[in-house]
């Protein structure tokens, strides 16, 4: 079978045509445009939700069926399985310090709620793309990280659950959030890179991933709260970088 590093990024969970939006601060967007890069942030720096990417409390006492099947195939006893389940939360801080994320919303239209929550009440920018365009913009399923090594990339939807989650593969925990309405309604999709370099216990705050802005930008919506002169400047900068007229003025007005 022919190996396609682009479709390999999304083929398990997506068709490739699903719409995505990403809300970002104006100055961070300008950095993205000037550097032709997106930046993945270390998961433990998401201070608003310390449970983000952590094993649920249920993992202390119960195993996910996938783990039970795996342990059984390895000949592990029930007592060993229970001990493993009780220890699953001990690695939470370790994992969160080694996961780098770039988050998107699984929808292709603007959202007032998302403008308020992540678009700085109309003073930010909304990037519109789709799954395949995002993967093509990155150009493959890996990039060179801060330590000069290859980092594998994963693109998956977030799972909102308080039930036990699988521990294999280990990166699955990075896609877990608590099961509360606000998390479910965000319909979040994450681009993930993992840093398991033992010689470097905690990496930098962000990882820089080069992208093609021509492929990434299906449309760019400037928030209603951005001053007119700034809109003119950012529009010219963005259209030039994308090689076409991708900038739009948002029709969503935040009160």
Neighbour tally for 59: CB within 10 Å: 25
- What is the structure's pLDDT at 73? 87
How many angstroms separate the CA atoms of 123 and 112, rounded? 13
Q: Give first-to-last CA distance, the chain, whole Å.
A: 53
For residue range 152-191, list pLDDT tens digits in order: 999 999 999 999 988 888 899 999 999 999 999 999 999 9
Mean pLDDT of 114-142: 96
Mean pLDDT of 84-96: 69
* pTM of the entire predicted model: 0.91
Lowest mean pLDDT segment, chosen from 23-27, 70-74, 196-200, 223-227: 196-200
For residue range 21-32, list pLDDT tens digits in order: 999 999 999 999
């Amino acid at each position: 079978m022919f190996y396609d590093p682009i479709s390999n990024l999304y083929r398990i969970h997506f068709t490739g045509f699903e719409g995505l939006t990403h809300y970002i601060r104006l100055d961070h967007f300008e950095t993205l445009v000037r550097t032709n890069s997106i930046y993945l942030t270390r998961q433990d720096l998401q201070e608003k939700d310390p449970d983000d990417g952590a094993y649920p409390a249920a993992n202390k006492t119960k195993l996910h069926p996938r783990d039970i099947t795996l342990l059984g195939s390895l000949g592990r006893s029930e007592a060993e399985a229970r001990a493993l389940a009780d220890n699953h939360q001990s690695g939470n801080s370790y994992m969160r310090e080694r996961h780098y994320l770039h988050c998107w919303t699984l929808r292709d239209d603007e959202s007032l709620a998302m403008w308020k929550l992540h678009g700085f009440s109309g003073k930010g920018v909304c990037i519109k793309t789709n799954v395949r365009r995002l993967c093509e913009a990155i150009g493959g399923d890996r990039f060179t990280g801060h330590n000069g090594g290859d980092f594998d990339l994963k693109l998956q939807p977030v799972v909102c659950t308080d039930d036990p989650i699988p521990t294999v593969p280990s990166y699955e925990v990075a896609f877990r959030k608590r099961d509360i309405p606000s998390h479910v309604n965000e319909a979040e999709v994450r681009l993930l890179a993992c840093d398991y370099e033992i010689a470097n216990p905690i990496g930098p705050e962000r990882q820089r991933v080069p992208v093609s802005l021509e492929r990434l930008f299906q449309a760019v919506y400037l928030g209603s709260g951005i001053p007119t002169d700034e809109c003119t400047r950012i529009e010219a900068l963005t259209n030039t970088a994308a090689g076409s007229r991708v900038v739009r003025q948002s029709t969503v007005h935040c009160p």
